[in-house]
Structure 1
């Protein structure tokens, strides 16, 4: 379990180290986002102050965020030294796109990928019980066509793609409700080179179709 909201010195240090590490080790563009604060009763709310914020502690905190993200570790270090509570956001559509599926479908797909000896990739787990598979940019534009070629209607599957103009929330960021972003499969030297979406799409689509069929039976 990740630590609770009430450990600011520990979490801010880990946020800084992780943000710099993503830029340094992976050359990923990194962006500081909103963060969680607590009210007088200990309830979490977003630093943006918006009532009913749709993504508490997990969205860009400035309108020019697309130009303020950086893959320079010194620049990233300055960002978090200026605002150490910031969530860590990784813009998609630059060094990676992310295929977004449910946690159940993602776990089934991971097992099939291992049996099929398919390429490794980082896989991010969200508090909303979703798994995000990192692939090379360009997936958002071609996945609907690839799904149809494989025999699935894109709209029939619980599968989405985050590409240009999107972002993912990276560990050890805490969000509300539900906890922390966590790696289901960590970035390592073994998965430094990301696969093309086409290499992973068949097991992902199969797993999503199995989940859809199970829901219909219920």
Structure 2
């Protein structure tokens, strides 16, 4: 697991995706110049991009996804790649191949032991799938719906952002699931 610097804090919300991050996102498309042209015309546009070449995406329910993200950005964690929030879900951008490998690793993990809960179902988007990415810029104040339909929590900030692989996301998933309190039946 490639570790981030222990002194580097989790990123604050950076509202704008820099040009290098936009280049990386557009590189997922078969027509990156068309994606750039769309964003040049409307930086508030959402774009549907294919998965499997530049990135895969792991889609988690918001609460569990935030727990995973907390583990990834803990002092023992490696950090994360780009992360988006979209309609009550968290989209974790991951290394290509993760969408195929992570479900098998999760199935292999022994869930449901004493004091342990299984994670909620995660959706994996890889080769043959596509995702809608948030706009490069947030809408002007007062024009953004509440809650925002789609926004970056961790923006892609370079042409080659670090992307967690399946083993890193398994690590975060296991720790997030173990930290989730197990409901106890009411005494009757």
Name the TM-score, length of structure 2 as normaliser: 0.64
| 1-structure distance, mates of 2:94, 2:165 | 6
> Residue 122 of structure 1 contacts residue 185 of structure 1 at CA under 8 Å; is this kept in 2?
yes
| 2-structure distance, mates of 1:22, 1:133 | 15
* Pairing 1:167–2:130 present: yes
The change in CA–CA distance for 1:120 and 1:75 in structure 2 (over 3 A counts) is same
| 1-structure distance, mates of 2:146, 2:73 | 32
| 2-structure distance, mates of 1:157, 1:170 | 23
> Residue 109 of structure 1 contacts residue 207 of structure 1 at CA under 8 Å; is this kept in 2?
yes
* Pairing 1:112–2:112 present: no
1:81 Cα offset (Å)? 7.2
1:137 Cα offset (Å)? 1.0
Identify which of structures 1 and 2 has the higher relative contact order when contacts are C-alpha pairs closer than 8 Å and 6+ apart.
Answer: 2
Instruction: Give 3-state SS (helix, strand or coil) of 1:101's partner.
Output: strand
- Equivalent pairs, count: 159
* Pairing 1:121–2:81 present: yes
1:96 Cα offset (Å)? 0.7
The change in CA–CA distance for 1:149 and 1:189 in structure 2 (over 3 A counts) is same
After superposition, give the CA deviation of every residue in 1:44-86 in whole Å (9 maximum; x if it has no partner).
xxxxxxxxxxxxxxxxxxxxxxxxx423xx3334456789986
Unaligned runs of 5+ in 2: 1-15, 113-117, 140-144
* Partner of residue 27, structure 2: 28
* Pairing 1:95–2:72 present: no
1:144 Cα offset (Å)? 2.3
**Structure number having the greater helix percentage:** 1
> Residue 98 of structure 1 contacts residue 163 of structure 1 at CA under 8 Å; is this kept in 2?
yes
* Partner of residue 148, structure 1: 107
Alignment of 1:1-218 (within 5 A): 22-26=21-25, 28-30=27-29, 69-71=30-32, 74-79=33-38, 87-115=46-74, 116-126=76-86, 128-152=87-111, 157-172=120-135, 179-189=148-158, 192-208=161-177, 213=182
Name the TM-score, length of structure 1 as normaliser: 0.56
RMSD of aligned alpha carbons: 3.8
The change in CA–CA distance for 1:191 and 1:112 in structure 2 (over 3 A counts) is farther
| 2-structure distance, mates of 1:24, 1:90 | 13
1:143 Cα offset (Å)? 1.6
